[in-house]
Amino acid sequence: EGKKRMKQAEAGLEALTEVVDTVITIPNDRLRGLASSNATMIEMFRKADAVLLHAVKGITDLIMMPGLVNLDFADVRTTMGKAGMAIMGTGIGSGENRALEAAEKAVSHPLLEDVSISGARGVLMNITCGPELTMTEMTQASDRTHAEAGDEAEIIWGTVLDGSIGDELRVTVIATGIGPVEGTDKDRFSGKVRDITEADLTRAVDLDEPTFIRKEKAVGESGGAHYRGYRGIILDKSDLEIPTFMRRKAD
């Protein structure tokens, strides 16, 4: 779409990353890998929508739907809260090796072309299938994802039972915290430190002083008889809002 549109998109992403935990992008040039070369634009975008649907549904299903291994919102937030970019992939398998097939497709999805989930700081994996899921299938899908992500990644996974999927098994992988982390707490709160001056101390509010005295100090001298009272503050004896014992001290 041209360098200008690219710069606008990059600027938008940069601004977006400052206010969200995770950003997932789908480059248009990778949509070609989702369908045949003769596919129309509408078909391409529908393919992209389907990938997004599986990704979002995979997250919400882990929280909302019952499964063999359930996750809660805190688990999802732990993974999605990793700073940096995120990528996702989904795969569907059937037959005897459906779990391994689905996991392989998920970690080598067309949207992950030239990008690997290796080095990601967090990985969220969802396995969706019918009630006939076996322990071997769970292990195969989990091991394949672990092997691709690496030992340093914090991997959280769960399973969702969905009878409507038939004999198929779907694996959805969302890898977060990819790339250098900018705007960490250390950087966010860093800054130059200067010495405190006498002027700073003068402007400081002394909360040990009664409120009415601090208000009088802010107003300043108002004429008439005065008394240098609490901590050298000038008081107006004619001000009846000042407590009697303070005005008596002025006498």
| Reported confidence tier of residue 251, pLDDT bands at 50, 70, 90 | low
Q: Which of 74-83, 94-103, 189-198 has the highest mean pLDDT?
A: 94-103
Domains annotated for the chain, with CATH where assigned, are: 16-179 (3.30.1330.20), 198-250 (no CATH)
Q: Is 161 helix (H, G, I), strand (E, B) or coil?
A: strand
Per-residue pLDDT at 134 exceeds 70: yes
| Reported confidence tier of residue 120, pLDDT bands at 50, 70, 90 | confident
Distance from C-alpha of 145 to C-alpha of 199, rounded to nearest angstrom: 60
| Reported confidence tier of residue 226, pLDDT bands at 50, 70, 90 | very low
pLDDT, greater one: 134 or 57: 134
pLDDT exceeding 70 applies to what percent of the chain?
62
Average per-residue pLDDT for the chain:
73
Distance from C-alpha of 20 to C-alpha of 84, rounded to nearest angstrom: 10
Rounded to the nearest 5°, which phi and psi values hold at 2?
100, 160
Distance from C-alpha of 178 to C-alpha of 86, rounded to nearest angstrom: 6
Q: Which residues does residue 161 pair with via DSSP β-bridges, in sequence order?
A: 129
Distance from C-alpha of 210 to C-alpha of 147, rounded to nearest angstrom: 66
The owner of tokens 């299903």 is 61
Q: How far is CA 139 from CA 9, 69, 130, 198, in A?
A: 40, 13, 16, 67
Per-residue pLDDT at 233 exceeds 80: no
Which residue type occupies 129?
C
Contact 65, 161 (CB under 8 A): yes
Pairing between strand 169-178 and 85-93?
antiparallel
Q: Is 66 helix (H, G, I), strand (E, B) or coil?
A: coil
